[in-house]
Structure formats: C-alpha cells, structure tokens
Amino acid sequence: PMDRRDFSVGAITALAQLACPTCARANHASRGCNLRAAGSGNIAMPSQLPSSGIRELDEFCFKEVDILNQVYGLRPTFGFLDDADAANAFAIDTSTDTQRPDGIVLFGVSLAHQADPQNNAGGKLKIAAIMAHEWGHLYQYKQKFADSWGVRFELVADYMAGWHIAKTKSDSETVLAGAAELFRSIGDNLFTSEDHHGTPRQRSEVFMSGAGFTRGGPGGREETVEGAFQRGIGLVRWRR
C-alpha cells in the first residue's frame, strides 16, 4: 500500500511547469494536465499538502491509489494540493522517485469537498472517478499518446474513468450517472482556447460510454486497461 511521502525537489520543479498549461504541453520533458480548463490560460503554482485534513478522505484516497495502480499497471506518487483559488486536480508525467516512477497526481482539497460535500458513498464515487481520470492521463503518457490532440486527450481520460468505475465500483447506470454529472459540471465551451477540455455534454457522455451505457461503450468488466484505452481513442477520434 502507498504511504504518504513528501515530494522531492525534482517533483516540485515539475509542478512549476503547470504555471502555464501551454508551456506544460510544449515542454515534453515534463507534461501536465489539469482536470478542468483554466479559462484564462494561467494556473497558480500548486502548494503541496501532506494531508487533505480529513482522515477518512486520506484513507479512502490512498486505498483507491492501490486499486488504480493494480488496474492501470502504474506506480505514481499521489498527494493533495491547496486549490483554494480554483478547484482542480493534476497529473504530471515526471517523477524523480524511483519507487514511484510513473508520474505524480495531485488532488485538490477544495475539489474533494465539492465532489463529496456530504461525506457519503456518492461523493466518494466521484472522487474515485476524478482519480481514475488522472490515472488515465498517466497511462496516456506511458503509452506516448499524442497530447497534441488537445480536447481529445481529455475525453479519452474521461472514457477511461467511466470504464474504471464500472469495472471496480458499480455497474448501476443510476449510480454512474451521479459521477457523470460531475464531469458535466466541469465541462466548458472554450472552443477557441488551447485549454478546452470538452463541453459538458461531451464529458458526461464519454464518461458513460466508458462505463458501457451509451453508444460506443464496451460494458465489459473483464476488458483490459489497454483495451479500454484503444476503445476510448476510437470513440473520441470522430466525436463532435
């Protein structure tokens, strides 16, 4: 199981790349993706936190890390961040930790509170879905998936999140629709922005496609992560 650890100087340096999403994508020595579009094109430097401040949330997230690592075949560093200015989560492909070489995921404390304000099962499912989206980005990095795809890069991660939640949590369409609503709420209409992450409709529908309940979804619990990844690419390649 993953324990809590401080980030190294190298990891903090990687975080600096997130100050500008455009630069993060342009500098392939260290790439980063955020859950929602920044809109203005600028993201404040994240401040790492050793804990979310809520023991139950910490325990849930670190248990989920172990599940995600097993399903995705990855070993990244996981931690929390101070996202008081703009609720968000990040996935970075650079890590100097030889024990966790597959990048870094930072989950915003404000985002966690927004996803799970009542501290219940539905909220925890949304948190797991967000984490699965970020692990999707790490998998994309590992597979050298073209980040020049822009919005499609985000939608494939949304698809993989839906697949993961249906595979490991619940295949109830009603339950999954609650998580899909979260992705709808973080969609945007910044069509001319390089930081466009997908419209509310695109993000929720692609998530549900990954879960297998809308056109294009596999609906197969036994499908491998590589199979889900390839299906996600096939779906969003032609999606409008």
Tens of pLDDT, residues 159-172: 999 999 999 998 88
Rounded to the nearest 5 degrees, what angle is found at the Cα of 159, between the Cα atoms of 154 and 161?
95
Tens of pLDDT, residues 36-84: 544 333 444 466 788 999 999 999 999 999 999 999 999 999 999 999 8
Query: For residue 10, is pLDDT > 50?
Result: no
Euclidean distance between CA atoms 32 and 104, whole angstroms:
9
What distances in angstroms separate CA 45 from CA 83, 87, 96, 138, one per listed residue? 9, 13, 19, 20
Which of 83-87, 133-137, 221-225 has the weakest average pLDDT? 221-225
Euclidean distance between CA atoms 238 and 9, whole angstroms:
41
pTM over 0.85: no
Tens of pLDDT, residues 172-182: 888 899 999 99
User: What local confidence, expressed as pLDDT, does residue 32 receive?
Assistant: 52
